[in-house]
Chains A and B, each alone.
Chain A
Amino acid sequence: MAADGGSSSLGLPCVFSPKSRQYLALCAQDGRLRIWNTDSKTLHQEYVPSAHLSATCTCIAWGPCRTVKEGPQRKKRKSEAGQPEERADLLAMGTAAGSVLIYSTAKGALHCTLDGGHSGGVNSVQWHPEDSLLYSGSADTHIIEWDLQTGKTRCKWKADRAAVTSLCVSPDGKLLLSAGHIIKMWDLETKEIYRKFTGHSTAVRTLRFATTRPPDSNGLYFLSGAEHDRLLSVWQVREDGNDKNSVVSFTLTDEPQHIDLSTSTSKEEAVRLAVVCKDGQLHLFEHFLNGPCKKPLSPSCSVQMAGTQDSPVPVPLLAAALGTDTGTVLLAYGNHLQPVMERVEINTAERHICLTRDVQTTLSLSMETAVSKVKTPIVNAKSRVLVPGLPGHQAPIKGTSQGSEKRKKGTDTKEMSIEERLGEIDLSTVSSVKGAPKGTPSLQTDNFAVLLVQGLESSDAGILNKVFQTRKDAVIKKTVSRLPLPAVLPLVEEITKRLQGHPFTAVLMVRWLKAVLMHHTSYLSSLPDLVTQLGVLYHMIESRVRMFHKLTKLHGKLYLLMTQVATSDSSNTVTDVDHTAKLVYEEESSDEDEASGDEGLPDDNSDNWEEEEVMEETMEQDMEGQADEEEEDQDSRTESKANGEEDMEHENESEEE
């Protein structure tokens, strides 16, 4: 019964750069770090960590904004001394292997690696706002303070009994929040616990300071969101230490995945909050933090996004950042490999907004632009490139060829766009499928046989219907031949049940029955009680085919009539003139026609008479053309020609009446 809720699906890390929001750093499923420019909506940089498959990136944090002149790493940053404006250029990535990578967007390369500190995966990294310090919390229950100038640990301490899942440094840089299940507030100077906040029953995934006020004024608030929890809790750090419970909570529709907030600096300023939940919805809150509020607050505005297809599919939002003015929100949506960024004006007067975007077209549009600064690893002929996902994809062969291509192209700085790469991956899968035409159908029938056995075992109508709807003879044959012997008799029983219905569906079942009889002849005939087992089936079939003769006759009759109608319809326009001529001839012969005015009257002798006359004539014309068809038909049935003649006689008799 291994089915606990599980903390399996962590959201993929996705962070906007601070202040300007110019970049979006995103670590997708394939383990690569991509930095998107939110203004031009293009891929700015891509970085593939050397161990991106074994040690996936678990968290990302942008370094604090700084102007070039100050900052601790003066030595290393000589090359970029020309840039005067304040910008964030360092990214810290925590990995599942326990190391922390520092990536410089200015250099477009790895700046340094901090490892040897953690024995478990890194769950959270946070920068100190002023000093060149970095904090990382790990599953090994420890927090490490890294000195970035030396690249060494400055301090390491055990923070919790369980894994440290989240960290947050206060805006003034004096306090650090850490959380497993319990939120702890540390004094960073002494590394002692300042406060503890309990209340979450699951691992806390999000911690953010909501205000920048000092703690002694009762004005310091922070937010926390936990796994599987649809509430964001707000905690107040009170002077008297009487802060056992959360003061405010915000209700969400699902676990929070990405949070952005504008911190308030004074009591009069409201905290604005944008939360993207796991279900892809965005919720906006606006609240004045001034003490407890009993009821959970619902969002002032919820935003959903849908595709423009006929049946709109929800498009998940990945991240949202609040703009400087109140109305605008910067959204990232779509999939992690190719997110779409957009600045949206949101009318907060409406409580619920649904945006429709055509993700497909935007995808292709944005992909047309060439990617300038993509770093790809150098691939030797010996090394193998593994690409995640995509079943049936022949990675090793493809990888080497791709690698050589890339090295050639490496000279002219132009790299393959993602579109091209995706296209090649697709092609390779197709070619592999084509290369092994025998492999795939056998796989499929195997699945069918398994499905069929499962369906028979639990008499699951859904599964059985799905299997029995196949029309391919080859599939049916393979499935039946793969069927284990104990399942044969239940299958026959099931088929017997289904044979009784309408011919349209029953025809399919006959195919199955035939396949069973053909493939399992020896097994079936070895059964001692075969007659009793198949007796029901036999009787049923017999009773059904008893009317075969009569039905065939009836069909012949109907066929004749219908073809005549069809030919008369088609030749109506052409032989109109002819037709009248014949009627003129008839008028001469009979005077009784006047008597038969009504068609509804039962005395249809005269009626018939007239019609038959016409029919006979048309029949003669049709006969030659039709005879061939008739013969073909009768050959295919086991009926002899005599039958058709019998029909004719019948016709003649009715004429004579």
Chain B
Amino acid sequence: MASFKPTKIQVYPKLGEKVTQDTLYWKNYKAPVQIKEFGAVTNIDFSPVAPHNYAVTAFTRIHIYGPFSQEPVKSFTRFKDTAYCGRFRSDGQLLVAGCEDSVVRLFDVSGKVALRMFKGHTKAVRVTDFTSDRYHILTGSDDYTCRLWDIPNSTELTSYQEHTDYIRCGITSKLNRDLFITGSYDHTLKLFDARVNKSVMTMDHGQPVESLLLYPSEGLLVSAGGRYVKVWDLLKGGQPLVSLKNHHKTVTCLCLSSNGQRLLSASLDRHVKVYNTTNYKVVHNFDYAASILSLGLAPDDESIVVGMTNGILSIKHRKSSEETKEISGQQKRRPAYRVFVKGKNYVPKQDDYLVSKPVKQHLAKYDKQLKRFNVSKALDTALETWTRFRKPEITVAVIKELDRRGTLKNALAGRDERGLSQLLNFLVGNLVDPRFAPVLVPATEMILDIYQSVIGQSPVVDVQLQRLQDLLEREIGYQQDLLEVLGMLDTMFTSSLPRKEVPCSGISRPNGLAQGDASAPGPQPQAT
């Protein structure tokens, strides 16, 4: 007895955006927690030591939030004016911040009053950072100078006046205590060496530089300014490697994911873009409600913190893996995996007598009904609401199978008003889909033939038919337009390749297409 062959469900490529590993990874965050700060949030810095608190600089305050609290764990409010750039030292003990009143303040994270005040700048200090040996502080200011300060005796060590505009970003090397880089509104990035009294490398970004980032290896430098994000190779003497333009407004902040494989850029256009650092393609995109000024990523990407111009701090925490598991566990409690594999991996020995047990075929419901020749019921099953909307390919496959058997007419006939309108509803939804149209168009014709007699009796069915007609009208108009476009494209293809003797995209379509494809590899090398 030949076994029943289950209906083959054709697999179609999915339309729309591809779901990649990245989308799954970056979508796996909870709904954001939003905290209203007093003013625009200009800087977010994560503490390098556990529990990875983060300092949020907004207006005249610096708040320190814990990883899960929505209330500040601590706040520094002793600023006379707008504070800038609150950053932690690598041991998480000290915090440095600049201020509009040109004084740089150093705080103990557990204290409240500034430990040291560094006075010397003449204008607002927008950049502060600790050097890697922890004893010095780098500052950059609107008075065009950047300075190094000694923490223990709070004196100024050196001052560099090479930039010709505001210094708005700077970063110190984590590997070498003497190296640091500053970016300025004069469009340049300068690499300084504290052992020499001038800059050792200058790169031209082309736009006012807003943010800087060093790769952990410190061979590559990323700068953001204007709408561009640029990557520079420091080991090759500041050679520009990549220039990215994926934002339509100024990029304000840069960040690197924990494994160093993804680069994040935040911009005034309210987006955060995630780039792959091997090919620098955008792999994900976050939207926010307002222009973004600052961005922070917790270690292990546990949370994404974004500060906006309207003073709102948005925190997204990663969904913990247990939580997701728990939900799936509650849904269905299946027998353990052991039950299924039990005895499966047993290899028969030479003298064993094999009794083969027929494998029980698991069939879907509609297949069972098809097996029993309940064609109408099989179609009903395939038209169940869930299948109809979520997996139309199943419905279509069943219709196709019925058509192959020649019993589609029987299956379609004898439906009451509800059944018919359901069927028509499905058709309205999927008839024009080019994947399904070859199957559904004959089916629709069949339905019209069968139910010709009852048309006009039920208002519900009539409405559906009217919808179907509207749809067809639109589709036909649309396809007509498309045909015109096709003609345009044909002309364009012919005119674009005048060098070839043989016209590659001919008038007869299948032939022309095949040749068009064949000619595709030809011009390709020219482009690359």
Q: Output the nearest chain A residue to B208 by Cβ-Cβ distance.
A: A1
Contact A565 B462 (CB under 8 A): yes
The 8 A CB mask of B495-528 against A (1 = contact, 0 = none) is: 1110000001100010001001101100110110
Total chain B interface residues with beta-carbon distance under 8 A = 94
Name the segment of A360-368, A470-478, A519-527, A578-586 touching the other chain.
A519-527
Contact (A565, B455) CB under 8 Å given A531-B523, A537-B489: yes
A545 partner residues in chain B, CB cutoff 8 A = 479, 482-483, 486
Beyond A531-B519, A637-B476, is A4–B39 a contact (Cβ under 8 Å)? yes
Query: Which of the segments A91-99, A400-408, A425-433, A497-505 contacts the partner chain?
Result: A497-505
Interface check B105, CB cutoff 8 A: no
Asked if B285 is at the interface (CB within 8 A of a chain A CB), the reply is yes
- Select one of B293, B410, B441, B450 contacting A550, CB under 8 A: B441
* B-contact bits for A586-628, CB 8 A (1 contact / 0 none): 0000000000000111101001101100010000000000000
Q: A550-B441, A551-B472 are in contact. List 19 more A-B contacts (CB 8 A).
A: A1-B42, A3-B309, A4-B82, A202-B60, A454-B248, A459-B282, A517-B485, A524-B496, A530-B493, A530-B523, A538-B489, A542-B486, A545-B483, A546-B434, A555-B473, A555-B476, A559-B469, A599-B454, A604-B450
Mask: chain B, 257-274; 1 = CB below 8 Å from A; 0 = not: 000000000010101010
A217 to B415, CA, bound (A): 95
Asked if A532 and B520 make an inter-chain contact with CB atoms under 8 angstroms apart, the answer reads yes
Find out whether the CB atom of B434 lies under 8 angstroms from the CB atom of A532.
Answer: no
Query: What residue in chain B is nearest A529 (Cβ atoms)?
Result: B527
For chain B, residues 234 to 256, give those with C-beta under 8 angstroms from any C-beta of chain A.
245-249, 252
- Nearest opposing residue in chain B for A558, CB measure: B469
The residue from B59, B291, B413, B474 contacting A503, defined by CB atoms under 8 A apart? B474
User: Which chain B residue has the least Cβ–Cβ distance from A533?
Assistant: B527
Q: Is the CB of A5 within 8 A of B471?
A: no
Tally of A interface residues using CB under 8 Å: 81
> Is there an interface contact between B246 and A532, defined as CB atoms closer than 8 Å?
no
B-binding residues in A (CB < 8 A): 1, 3-5, 181, 201-202, 228, 453-455, 457-460, 462, 497, 499-500, 502-504, 506-507, 510-511, 513-514, 517-518, 521, 524-532, 534-535, 537-539, 541-548, 550-555, 557-559, 561-562, 564-565, 568-569, 599-602, 604, 607-608, 610-611, 615, 637-638, 654
- Once A5-B39, A550-B441, A554-B472 are accepted as A-B contacts, the answer to whether A562 and B465 lie under 8 Å apart by CB is yes
- B452: Cβ under 8 A from any A Cβ: yes
The 4 closest A-B pairs by CB, nearest first: A5-B39, A454-B248, A611-B453, A529-B527
When distances are taken between beta carbons in the complex, the residues of chain B under 8 Å from A518 are 488
Subset of 27 A-B contacts with CB under 8 Å = A3-B291, A5-B40, A457-B248, A458-B267, A458-B269, A507-B481, A514-B485, A517-B485, A527-B496, A529-B524, A531-B520, A531-B523, A534-B489, A538-B516, A541-B485, A545-B482, A547-B434, A555-B473, A558-B465, A561-B448, A565-B455, A568-B456, A569-B456, A599-B454, A602-B410, A604-B413, A654-B452
B494 vs chain A, min Cβ distance (A): 9
**Chain A contacts for B273, CB-based, 8 A:** 458
B26 is an interface residue with CB less than 8 A from chain A: no
Contact A1 B452 (CB under 8 A): no
Query: Taking CB as reference atom, which chain A residue is nearest B58?
Result: A5
Partner of A542, one of B227, B246, B449, B509: B509
- Measured CB to CB, the nearest residue on chain B to A5 is B39
Q: Which of B309, B410, B441 contacts A547 (CB 8 A)?
A: B441
List of A residues within 8 angstroms of B495 by Cβ: 525
Task: Report A-chain residues with C-beta under 8 Å of the C-beta of B15.
Answer: 500
User: Which residue in chain B gives the minimum CB-CB distance to A547?
Assistant: B437
Are A552 and B476 in touch, CB under 8 angstroms? yes
Report how far A454 CA is from B285 CA in the complex, Å.
15
Contacts of A654 in B (CB 8 A): 449, 452
- Alpha-carbon distance A263/B504, docked complex (angstroms): 93
Contact with A517, one of B79, B488, B524 (Cβ below 8 angstroms) = B488
A562–B469 CB distance below 8 A: yes
A548-B452 contact in complex given A460-B248, A604-B413, C-beta closer than 8 Å: no
Q: Is the CB of A538 within 8 A of B486?
A: yes
- B100 near A: Cβ within 8 Å? yes
Question: For the complex, what is the distance from the CA of A326 to the CA of B341, rounded to whole Å?
Answer: 84
Asked if B136 is at the interface of the complex by the 8 Å CB criterion, the answer is: no
Chain A residues near B16 (CB-CB < 8 A): 497
Asked if A535 contacts B453 (CB within 8 A), the reply is no
Q: In the complex the two chains form, what is the Cα distance from A599 to B252 in whole Å?
A: 72
Known A517-B488, A541-B482, A561-B452: A525·B496 in contact at CB below 8 Å: yes
In this complex, what residue of A is CB-closest to B522?
Answer: A531
User: A503 touching B471 by the CB < 8 A rule?
Assistant: yes
Min distance, Cβ B403 to any Cβ of chain A, angstroms: 14
Given A525-B492, A544-B479, A532–B465 Cβ distance below 8 Å? no
A458 touches B474 (CB 8 A): no
Smallest CB separation, B245 vs chain A (Å): 6
Distance A558 CA – B482 CA, assembled complex (angstroms)? 23
For residue B445, which residues in chain A have a CB less than 8 angstroms away from its CB?
553-554, 557
Question: Does chain A have a CB within 8 A of B484?
Answer: yes
Q: Which residues does chain B contribute within 8 Å of A530, judged by CB atoms?
A: 492-493, 496, 523
B216 contacts A by Cβ under 8 Å? no
Q: Cβ of A510 and Cβ of B481 under 8 Å apart?
A: yes
Whole-angstrom distance between the alpha carbons of A455 and B293 in the complex? 20
> Given contacts A4-B82, A531-B493, are A228 and B247 in contact (CB under 8 A)?
no
In chain B, residues 329-349, which have Cβ atoms closer than 8 Å to a Cβ of chain A?
none
Output the least CB separation between A166 and chain B (Å).
Answer: 18
- The reply on B432 being an interface residue by CB < 8 A is yes
Cβ contact within 8 Å between A555 and B469: yes
B481 touches A548 (CB 8 A): no
Give bound CA distance, A561 to B80, whole Å. Answer: 81
Q: List, in ascending order, chain A residues with CB within 8 A of B381's CB.
A: none
User: Contacts A228-B38, A504-B474, A529-B527; is A542 near B513 (CB within 8 Å)?
Assistant: yes
B121 in the interface, Cβ–Cβ < 8 Å? Answer: no
Residue in contact with B168 in the complex, picked from A1, A513, A528, CB distance below 8 Å: A1
Residue B387 at the chain A interface, CB threshold 8 Å? no
Given A457-B245, A503-B478, A538-B516: A602 and B489 interface contact (C-beta under 8 Å): no
CB pair B453–A507 under 8 Å, yes or no, is no
Output the least CB separation between A428 and chain B (Å): 35
Within 8 A of A (CB), among B436-465: 437-438, 441-442, 444-445, 448-450, 452-456, 462, 465
